[in-house]
């Protein structure tokens, strides 16, 4: 390298340092940490597939004012400490924003890092109340809360005459907050869960939970947690000759991959539009066109959520005046109210990061598709 080129390079780095953290030039770096090798790896990879499909198409169409979007995805194996380590790495690499994290404990672990760096984490798969109320600076949710999902499930159960409900839950912050939501939902109906069963986080050790569910002989069992332990729980209860109606939350919507045809009849709450037919949502038509053009053209709720989250990020980037910075992007996100992403609206504000309250119930078919 010549002296003159070294000088030019030095001037470029000096300009970048002066502009501060989170400034993009040439490409827009977005960071993601998620479980790519643990109990929820299949769901995480599917979510990333949806984000990648949107960003790839956006880049083919010129990116954001000519700047290409680059998504860096790091594996944390669902370990919150590894999530924090990955987040530090992404922040140090000058990521403009963090996107699509997975796990309540994982997101809780990075809040101090997010706030210290002044960076946004946009869209994550946790519905935890603690990440929403009171307002948590730096987090911008796309999906409805776990409380919204559980209320929809309990309301449906009551409507069809199911009032004796047992609950098994992931034994961590997410599961315990979901348990609180279920207790509150049933209390206002003058009832309480018929039985409780805790499942250690990141495991499929469901033996004690199965014993508790079987002993109670409930009309329904709600599992608050990921799909692999949900599958083990359902299989274990049925093996004991007990056949309640099973409910799981959207974080376990990939249940069929772990349970196969035995997942037939399980009711799943969903926080995204139905991705398998268009049903009047323009964004579903966009999603189907993008996904169909990829190597894995399979439609799914997880990839639908990833796609929608990527679109939310892109919309915010387009609305942010260049040069892009972390602070400017956060200001843009806070200014989004009733933002229509194609039939799916989100709203934020200075003290509001909730995004959406959309919930719909589905039932798994033997082939893994969903009936509405």
pLDDT at 185 over 90: yes
CATH fit for domain 146-270, picks 1.10.1490.10, 3.40.50.2300, 3.40.50.1820, 3.30.56.10: 3.40.50.2300
pLDDT at 319 over 70: yes
Note the pLDDT of residue 13. 35
Averaged pLDDT for residues 310-336: 98
Contacts of 142 (CB under 8 A, 6+ apart): 122, 123, 305, 308, 309, 312, 346, 355, 356
**202 or 72: which leads in pLDDT:** 72
Averaged pLDDT for residues 64-80: 97
Averaged pLDDT for residues 239-246: 98
Note the pLDDT of residue 243. 98
Averaged pLDDT for residues 334-362: 95
pLDDT at 15 over 50: no
Contacts of 242 (CB under 8 A, 6+ apart): 213, 214, 217
CB of 307 closer than 8 Å to CB of 291: yes
Note the pLDDT of residue 202. 86
Task: Please write the tens of the pLDDT for every residue from 110-156.
Answer: 999 999 999 999 999 999 888 998 999 999 999 999 999 999 999 99
Distance from chain centroid for Cα 233: 22
At residue 26 the predicted structure's pLDDT band, cuts being 50, 70 and 90, is confident
The residue written with tokens 């109606």 in the block is: 245
Measure the CA–CA gap between 71 and 74, rounded to whole angstroms. 10
Note the pLDDT of residue 5. 40
Radius of gyration of the chain (CA): 21
**38 or 184: which leads in pLDDT:** 184
Mean pLDDT (the chain) is 92
Of all helices (H) and strands (E), which one includes residue 207? helix 207-216
**217 or 43: which leads in pLDDT:** 217
Identify which of 236, 215, 225 has the alpha carbon closest to the alpha carbon of residue 164: 215
Collapsing DSSP to helix, strand or coil, 181 comes out as helix
Averaged pLDDT for residues 310-317: 98
- CB atoms under 10 Å from CB of 337, counted, come to 11
Question: For residue 252, what is the DSSP state?
Answer: G
| pTM of the entire predicted model | 0.85
Instruction: Parse the chain into domains and list their residue ranges.
Output: 3-143+279-357, 146-270
- What is the second-level CATH architecture of the domain 3-143+279-357? 3-Layer(aba) Sandwich (3.40)
Note the pLDDT of residue 7. 40
Averaged pLDDT for residues 250-255: 89
pLDDT at 11 over 70: no
Q: What are the tokens at 135?
A: 């307002």
Lowest mean pLDDT segment, chosen from 10-14, 197-201, 303-307: 10-14
The residue written with tokens 């796609």 in the block is: 307
Averaged pLDDT for residues 55-60: 97
pLDDT at 20 over 60: no
pLDDT at 267 over 50: yes
At residue 254 the predicted structure's pLDDT band, cuts being 50, 70 and 90, is confident
Task: Please write the tens of the pLDDT for every residue from 276-312.
Answer: 987 779 999 999 999 999 999 999 999 999 999 999 9
Same fold yes or no, 3-143+279-357 and 146-270 = yes
Note the pLDDT of residue 104. 87
Q: What are the tokens at 307?
A: 């796609």
Note the pLDDT of residue 8. 40
Note the pLDDT of residue 98. 98
């Amino acid at each position: 390298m010549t002296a003159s080129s070294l000088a030019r390079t030095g001037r470029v780095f000096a300009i970048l340092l002066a502009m501060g953290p989170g400034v993009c030039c040439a490409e827009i770096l977005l960071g993601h940490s998620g479980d790519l090798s643990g109990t929820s790896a299949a769901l995480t990879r599917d979510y990333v597939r949806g984000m990648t499909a949107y960003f790839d198409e956006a880049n083919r169409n010129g990116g954001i004012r000519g700047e290409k979007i680059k998504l860096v995805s790091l594996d944390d194996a669902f370990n919150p400490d590894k999530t924090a380590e990955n987040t530090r790495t992404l922040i140090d690499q000058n990521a403009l924003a963090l996107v699509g994290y997975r796990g309540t404990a994982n997101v809780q672990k990075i809040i101090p890092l997010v706030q210290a760096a002044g960076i946004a984490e946009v869209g994550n798969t946790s519905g935890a109340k603690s990440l929403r109320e009171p307002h948590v600076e730096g987090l911008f949710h796309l999906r409805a809360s776990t409380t919204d999902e559980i209320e929809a499930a309990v309301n449906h159960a009551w409507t069809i005459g199911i009032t004796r409900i047992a609950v098994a839950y992931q034994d961590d912050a997410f599961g315990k907050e979901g348990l609180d939501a279920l207790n509150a939902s049933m209390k206002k109906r003058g009832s309480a869960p018929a039985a409780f069963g805790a499942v250690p986080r990141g495991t499929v050790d469901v033996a004690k939970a199965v014993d508790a569910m079987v002993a109670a002989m409930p009309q329904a069992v709600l599992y608050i947690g990921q799909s692999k332990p949900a599958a083990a729980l359902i299989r274990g209860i049925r093996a004991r000759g007990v056949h309640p109606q099973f409910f799981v939350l959207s974080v376990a919507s990939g249940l069929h991959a772990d349970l196969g045809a035995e997942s037939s009849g399980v009711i799943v709450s969903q926080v995204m539009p139905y991705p398998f037919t268009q049903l009047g949502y323009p964004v579903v038509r966009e999603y189907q066109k993008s996904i169909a053009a990829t190597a894995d053209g399979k439609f799914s709720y997880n990839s639908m959520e990833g796609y929608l989250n990527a679109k939310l990020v892109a919309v915010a980037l387009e609305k942010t005046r260049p040069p892009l910075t972390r602070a400017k992007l956060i200001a843009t996100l806070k200014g989004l109210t009733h933002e229509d992403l194609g039939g799916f609206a989100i709203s934020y504000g200075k003290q509001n990061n909730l995004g959406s309250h959309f919930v719909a119930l589905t039932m798994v078919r033997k082939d893994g598709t969903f009936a509405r």
